[in-house]
Chain A
Amino acid sequence: MDYFVELFFSGLTRGSIYALIALGYTMVYGIIGLINFAHGEIYMIGAFTALITSTVLSIFGFPLPAIVILTLLASAIWASAYGFTVEKLAYQPLRNAPRLSPLISAIGMSMFLQNYVLLAQTSDFLPFPALIPDFDFMEPYAGFIGSSDMVILVTTTVVMLLLTWLIKFTRTGKAMRATAQDRKMAMLVGINVDNIISITFVIGSALAAIGGLLIASHIGQINFYIGFIAGIKAFTAAVLGGIGSIPGAVLGSFILGLTESFATGYVSSDYEDVFAFSLLVLILIFRPAGILGKASIEKV
């Protein structure tokens, strides 16, 4: 039973990270119908920014809580700047182009960012400092949930609640939904659609960077390639839950995280991807729009 609980929590931790990344995919898809393949790279850049910031801050002797908060802010802001720039450079000029063009542009951006980090940071795995200490009060539960798992779960929950509030109740959030539902009408009520799209990229990037920081600190090492794997998995999670749906992305992420965790624990870690993608295939066969996605009829 303990083993089951341990796997359960480790699945939730994975799911949280996937969710933080998957939200960026699903929000961007919802608003401009684009699979932003460079999104995984934004997550990777978030992790690298966190590594650099935390190293510099610890050299200057900042206390740990200050390091954690400043690192979180720095990587969220810096990754957002990347997300914003990628959108302006690679997607906005193609807004009225055929659907395939921005998709290819996105793949190009992904390769560019990967190789750029590869050149700047080497291809080696770099050690990442443990930003989250082992809390004393977590001692009794250490058998099945570590301190950093707990921090990841709590942070993700807080971030999700904030995001829900933003999207449901603020005027910007309503404008985001309005733009996703009917872009031309959004323009006609006076929404600057380009700004709303930029905001969407900035929010998605900040979430991915938070995910990058948390998981890097949890695992303890990063390299230029982490964004690719995590990006593919989070994308799978978003499709699983129904791409374009925000609750769907979160649900899909947790289902994927738990599936992988149990597959690793009870079968073999070699098979975690087999289970994850088999799940995707099954969902796509029986519910092509994803678990919470709306089946939409493509109008010709």
Chain B
Amino acid sequence: MLELKNICTYYGNIQALHDISLKIEEGDIITLIGANGAGKSTTLMSISGIIPPRTGEILFKGQPIHNLSPDKIVALGICQVPEGRHIFPDLTVAENLDMGAFLRKDKEQTTKDLDYIYDLFPILKDRRNQPGGNLSGGEQQMLAISRALMAKPQLLLLDEPSMGLAPLVTRQIFDIIKKINREHNTTIFLVEQNANLALKVADRGYVLETGRITLHDKASTLLADEDVQKAYLGI
């Protein structure tokens, strides 16, 4: 479904990604793990077109997207929940969700999807008229994921959904991620520092080290891998 071919991304003169190649099949949960500053978020920003790669190709369903603007990429069905959630703080919860559906014209279906979201996260319904900035961290993460879902994505990019959340809330978020993948056949590309958690839900995983992919395999194999255990799982 999504294929990165030899991506190199730069911040000015500094190269952040070296020759990244990876493949995501439809319906999969794929995870990208790595330490701080390895280039995980940069990879997602390259896919979303915010920091386009300088060389290399990104293909979505066989069609090149690395030259498209971010809004065109969203229109194709690739949505990102960025690190730190980035809720619009002065927009209400309902307005935040409406912004998720910014490119959609099908009003009736959008309303139905909104009801589905409120079913999934009743707390968002209770707080729909409150500014997004007033929510707690866990609620903001729910809102951020919901906002992305409102766009009806085919591929959902999640950047550190567990960051700064209590373990119980993290588990809840991950259950929802699995549910979205199962029920809607939404392909998920999950970036995580919490490798243990990510590899448990994922089908396959890639390991990123200082801008290079050093390993990729089935998630279960990576979980059992000695080097991965030492470096990322703290075993």
Interface residues of A (CB under 8 A from B): 171, 174-175, 177-178, 181-182, 184-193
Give the complex CA separation of A185 and B99 in angstroms.
Answer: 10
A175 to B91 Cα, complex, angstroms: 10
In the bound assembly, the distance between CA atoms of A189 and B49 in angstroms comes to: 12
Would you list 15 pairs from A and B whose C-beta atoms are within 8 A, ordered by A residue?
A174-B98, A177-B88, A177-B95, A178-B99, A181-B88, A181-B91, A182-B89, A187-B70, A188-B74, A188-B79, A189-B147, A190-B75, A190-B102, A191-B99, A193-B71
Q: B48, B50, B74, B99: which contacts A175 (Cβ < 8 A)?
A: B99
Chain B residues, CB < 8 A from A175: 99, 102
B86 interface residue (CB < 8 Å to A): yes
How far in angstroms is the closest Cβ of chain A from B36? Answer: 19
**How many Å lie between the Cα of A36 and that of B88 in the bound state?**
25
Is B100 engaged at the interface, CB distance under 8 Å to the other chain?
A: yes
CB distance A181 to B89 under 8 Å? Answer: yes
A residues less than 8 Å from B211 (CB atoms): none
What's the Cα separation between A190 and B80 when bound, in Å? 10
- For B82-99 the 0/1 string (1 means CB < 8 A from A) is 100010111100010011
Structural contact, B91 and A174, CB atoms closer than 8 A: yes
B151 interface residue per 8 A CB criterion: yes
Residue from the list A171, A184, A187 in contact with B71, Cβ < 8 A: A187
A172 (CB) vs chain B CBs: closest residue: B102
- In the assembly, what is the distance between CA of A190 and CA of B74, in Å? 5
Task: List residues of chain B with CB within 8 A of the CB of A188.
Answer: 48, 50, 70, 74, 79-80, 82, 86
Which residues from chain B contact A181 at a C-beta distance below 8 Å?
88-91
Taken together as a complex, chains A and B put the C-alpha atoms of A193 and B95 apart, in Å, by 17
Q: A177 to chain B: which residues have CB within 8 Å?
A: 88, 90-91, 95
Chain B stretch 36-57: residues in CB contact (< 8 A) with chain A: 48-50
- Whether the pair A189, B48 counts as a contact (CB closer than 8 A) is no
A193 partner residues in chain B, CB cutoff 8 A:
71
User: Which residues from A are CB-within-8-Å of B91?
Assistant: 174, 177-178, 181
Are A185 and B71 in contact, with the CB atoms below 8 A? no
Is there a chain A Cβ closer than 8 Å to B69's Cβ?
A: yes
Q: Indicate whether B103 reaches chain A with its CB closer than 8 angstroms.
A: yes
Bound CA–CA A75/B169 (angstroms): 56
Residue among A174, A175, A185, A192 with the highest chain B CB neighbour number at 10 A: A185
